[in-house]
Amino acid sequence: MSMRYSSTLPRWGVQEVVISGPETGNPFAEQQLAGTFVSDGGKECTAPGFYDGEGRYMVRFMPDEEGGYTFRITGSFLPEALTGSFTVTPAQDGVHGPVQVSQTYHFAYADGTPYRPVGTTCYVWHLQTPQMFENTLRTLENSPFNKIRFCVFPKHYDYNHNEPFAYPFAAAEKAEGQAYAWDFTRFDPVYFRHLEDAILRLGNLGIEADIIMLHPYDRWGFSRMSQPQMQNYFRYLVSRIAAYRNVWWSLANEYDLMPDMVTGDWEALAQVIQQQDPYCRLTSIHNCFGFYDHSRPWVTHCCLQRQEIYRTTEMVDQWRETYRKPIIVDELGYEGNIQHGWGNLTGEEETRRFWEATIRGGYAGHGETYFNDNEILWWSHGDVLHGTSPARLQFLRGFLDSLPGPLEPWRSNWDDRCACVPGEDDNAPPVIVYYYSFMRPSFRDFTLPEGTAYQAQVLDTWEMTCVDAGVKEGSFRLPLPGRPFAAVCLTRVR
């Protein structure tokens, strides 16, 4: 029996306690272990362990306090508890902890730093060639994206019919004519270690990993596991990766396309997450048609696909009212030119939908589906970006980062959308933003409350310009570009 772990690690890093144990039988199914970690401050946390193959057992733990910790591991194969201690040093530069819900509709890192999701989707980027895996990370590093949605399981869908380098489950003996057969009680740690590598690499880039635990695009049978098999898989996955601070749980992509699943099944899976994840990572479930009941307590934020073709993020303010949780429209249609209507938007429309979400106090997610002869599409494979929207989303992110707080819907007119950063005086908030969408006024008239003055800026969200228009008081007319996608930002100076 041996145990190893790190004697020091930074706050919000991962302590990995590795213990040798039995290889006989089916350790995945027959052995259990868990660790209880207690900080000097008295905060206690019990983290589940898991079998990592080759007689190796692990408990991973993310400390969220600095200072000393002690721990105690118990396991079915351990004659007595194993104990140890370690020291947590300050967080590494640029590490702010896990993202949490903040101010009902928004997000912040654990240290209070605002987090404004500008996400993208690459469903199985980690299951492509090693070269493409690196390409994707390099692309992300130089992109506006601070979140990426991707699947645990391989994906079978248009433009994506390749086999992954490995499979999440151990192979079973195939029946005559059967293409795939799995022993769902045995996992392949190689597959999950690669997933963890992806999560870690994203974390190093400051990118949240929105993990899609189930999806219906499947020829392997992973979408048709029995409920006990699914729950077992959820337990294993959560035990392995919950400690990574950038993990978010998405129970499914297009949950309502999953064969044979009823609401009770999803609720049971959500229960598994709640039981296994001591950190209460952000949790959501993504629809194809009707939304899941996002008022369920385990749903931390609404992860939504648009429900109609002409209004997508234009509904964000209504959805906020309905669910009183952060809204991320992470499938609003993708920039591209493939045959499907969800994958052939212009960069202009992709960008517009982001701003429509933003100005309503919500968030959005990007995707890209440009057809090419190699059939390498960002939305599925990652690799490199071809579109025109990412540069504009960088501009959007820069704009959001320049604000003193999150945007809340505020006094829109019928032909603009307006938001503010709220302050003490609701009639004269610190920042007011107007967005004109597809309209293209060549000027607009404004009236400010008496006694106030605002610095006016005219934004062209497509041309990515922000032009100072002077300090304004009372009633004034502001010349605008007369092109679509203009915005006005008024910042209170008196």
- For a copy of itself, the binding residues (CB under 8 A) are 309-311, 314, 337-342, 344-346, 349, 371, 413-416, 438-445, 482, 484
The Cα–Cα gap between 113 and 107 comes to 9
Least distance (Å) between residue 145 CB and a copy of itself? 23
Contact of 237 with 189, CB cutoff 8 Å: no
Backbone φ, ψ for residue 361 (5° rounding): 80, 25
Question: Which parts of 272-319 are beta strand (E)?
Answer: 283-284, 302-305
Residue type, 136: T
Least distance (Å) between residue 65 CB and a copy of itself? 48
Sign of the CA dihedral 77, 81, 87, 91? positive
The Cα–Cα gap between 65 and 45 comes to 12
* Nearer CB in complex with a copy of itself: 194/444: 444
* Nearer CB in complex with a copy of itself: 245/352: 352
Least distance (Å) between residue 189 CB and a copy of itself? 41
- Contact partners, residue 329, CB within 8 Å, separation at least 6: 304, 305, 306, 312, 313, 316, 353, 357, 362, 363, 364, 365
* Nearer CB in complex with a copy of itself: 180/438: 438
- Contact partners, residue 273, CB within 8 Å, separation at least 6: 234, 238, 249, 251, 281, 283, 298
Least distance (Å) between residue 397 CB and a copy of itself? 24
* Nearer CB in complex with a copy of itself: 74/412: 412
For the CA atoms of the chain, what is the radius of gyration?
A: 24
Least distance (Å) between residue 335 CB and a copy of itself? 10
* Nearer CB in complex with a copy of itself: 298/446: 446
Least distance (Å) between residue 326 CB and a copy of itself? 23
Least distance (Å) between residue 366 CB and a copy of itself? 17
Least distance (Å) between residue 370 CB and a copy of itself? 9
* Nearer CB in complex with a copy of itself: 250/313: 313
Sign of the CA dihedral 216, 220, 226, 230? negative
* Nearer CB in complex with a copy of itself: 292/370: 370
The Cα–Cα gap between 118 and 328 comes to 9
- Contact partners, residue 141, CB within 8 Å, separation at least 6: 205
* Nearer CB in complex with a copy of itself: 244/485: 485
Residue type, 383: D
